[in-house]
Amino acid sequence: NAGVTQTPKFQVLKTGQSMTLQCAQDMNHEYMSWYRQDPGMGLRLIHYSVGAGITDQGEVPNGYNVSRSTTEDFPLRLLSAAPSQTSVYFCASKAGGAHTGELFFGEGSRLTVL
């Protein structure tokens, strides 16, 4: 079972470059979300989506864009990378409503911005 698949697993960028982190799930989950995890900060919600065509901002959305054209895919775009965006990024999905249900996480994408 694939579950939630993130690519790439590792990426190094230079300041100002743009890139897209890909996330796909095969569980037919309506809800998908992106988190970043930094030491001592826990998981912070960047953006989330409750279904195809619907996205909303989380706690730390600045510098990131998302789109949800299909149920399966939820890419995260960094428009102009900054060193402050060095982090581990996790995509997650779940069934159920916005505030209930188990989150299934991808394996993470480790991003370094120089």
Partner 1 sequence: RKEVEQDPGPFNVPEGATVAFNCTYSNSASQSFFWYRQDCRKEPKLLMSVYSSGNEDGRFTAQLNRASQYISLLIRDSKLSDSATYLCAVNSRSFGAGTTVTVRA
Judged by the rule CB under 8 A, the positions of this chain that interact with partner 1 are 31, 33, 35, 40-45, 48, 58-59, 90, 94, 96, 98-103, 105-108
Q: How far apart are CA 38 and CA 41, in angstroms?
A: 5
Q: Which is nearer to partner 1, 17 or 86 (CB)?
A: 86
Helix-, strand-, coil-residue percentages of the chain, each rounded to 5: 5, 50, 45
Q: CB of 57: closest distance to partner 1 in angstroms? A: 12
Residue with Cβ nearer partner 1 (17 or 105): 105
Provide the minimum distance between the beta carbon of 105 and partner 1 in the complex, in angstroms, as a whole number.
4
d(CA 114, CA 105): 27
Alpha helices by DSSP H, 10-69 = none
Q: How far is the CB of 47 from partner 1 (least distance, A)?
A: 12
Residue type, 89: Y
Q: How far is the CB of 98 from partner 1 (least distance, A)?
A: 7
DSSP H helices, 1-114, are: none
